Structure 1
Amino acid sequence: MPTNLYLVRHAHSTYNHDEQGRPLSERGLKDAQLVTDILKLENIDYVISSPYKRAIQTVGGIASWLHNEVMIEENFKERKLAGVPVENFNEAIIKVWDNPEFAWESGESNVVAQKRGVQITLEILKKYEGKNVAIGTHGNIMVLIMNYFNAEFDFSFWQELEMPDIYKLTFEKTQLVEVKQIWRQYN
């Protein structure tokens, strides 16, 4: 029996330096309702999220509809790029993708972030085998997880992600068998 993980990149939020507490913008809140409407059609069994407010808000509607709590999972939080805000985000992000073992000061390399994301993904695949699980997360960590299972999900793929975005990953045990973007399918 396949397990489906719905990786949900959070909706739009207004940028500020409060990485964990930053909420969705007005547009993001409207899009989060669309995420809920889409996921209602997908027979979701469980809802898990990064501890960051914008991710929780993006998947919170489907959890409420299911009369469930959003289960918080620390390891789905966004990769920490650096200990302090970087001067040029584009240059900083390109450097970590070009050199997966490189990390900015007090930040995570792609290798380190991917390891924590994949570890929790494998745990979820085992714990919720045969279920449909929605996971509220972030662009970089989402693509690093996907990249572990299929290298075609890379930096250029990350650049094309929408906000929000939803990818359905279908697994047999821990073997990825299909990836389908479902955000565009409904929009």
Structure 2
Amino acid sequence: MKKKIYLVRHCLASGQKSTASLTAEGRDQATQLAQSLGHIPFDKLYSSPYRRALQSIEPLALQLDKPITIDDRLEERKLSAVPIENWIEELEQTFVDLSYTIEGGESSQQAISRSIAVLNDALLYTKEYCLVMTHGNLLTLILHHFNTDYQFNTWKKLRNPDVFCLTFHNNTIESIQNVKLSGEPL
């Protein structure tokens, strides 16, 4: 049996903190996202607990009259316990060496492990279609898990929002597609 998981990066936000809201443009993007994906009969909707992710998925959930399963394992990956000046270089290093960790941070391997556990749950509890709302770094690491061609440069090119459809056959990845949303650009 085939199942499709739509992996979505949240809409444009006002910041990186867990409490950061969508901008006015981000709220419009969330409405457009609901319009673009609202025809898909999603069985389940999963989201990071971060405000920007929830605000990105809420219009779709309302349109489909579906509950949102909030899962802490979808929150953005913590690169470091303290702000670092050269965070872009450090982030790139985490794609070169998946075990690389900055003090107080999470390695790519750790982030992949928790996020793939969510996808495994989604595959178990989804009949056919599921949407997972998360963050750019984690989304890229999930893609990397299934295809190592997805790297740091993939993350750099992501948009807010960005959507990938992962097709599984008997719980084995079959394909990954970057989905063009109606009404582009979002």
TM-score (norm 1): 0.92
C-alpha contact 1:4 1:169 (8 A) present in aligned 2: yes
- Per-residue deviation at 1:185? 5.9
- What is the aligned partner in structure 1 of residue 45 from structure 2? 47
- AA matched with 2:128: K
- Per-residue deviation at 1:186? 4.9
TM alignment of 1:136-155, pairs within 5 A: 136-155=133-152
How many angstroms apart in 2 are the aligned matches of 1:39 and 1:149? 23
- Per-residue deviation at 1:51? 0.5
- Per-residue deviation at 1:184? 4.8
- Per-residue deviation at 1:164? 0.6
- What is the aligned partner in structure 2 of residue 181 from structure 1? 178
What SS does the corresponding residue of 2:93 show, helix, strand or coil? helix
The one of 63, 68, 73 aligned to 2:71: 73
- Per-residue deviation at 1:38? 1.0
Aligned residues: 184
TM alignment of 1:35-184, pairs within 5 A: 35-128=33-126, 130-184=127-181
TM alignment of 1:5-24, pairs within 5 A: 5-15=5-15, 19-24=17-22
- Per-residue deviation at 1:183? 3.5
Q: Percent identity?
A: 29
- AA matched with 1:118: I
C-alpha contact 1:59 1:134 (8 A) present in aligned 2: no
- Per-residue deviation at 1:120? 1.5
Mind listing any 5+ residue stretches in structure 1 that lack a counterpart? none
Mind listing any 5+ residue stretches in structure 2 that lack a counterpart? none
C-alpha contact 1:49 1:76 (8 A) present in aligned 2: yes
How many angstroms apart in 1 are the aligned matches of 2:93 and 2:112? 16
TM-score (norm 2): 0.93
C-alpha contact 1:125 1:173 (8 A) present in aligned 2: no
C-alpha contact 1:9 1:136 (8 A) present in aligned 2: yes
Moved over 4 A (4+): none
- Per-residue deviation at 1:102? 0.9
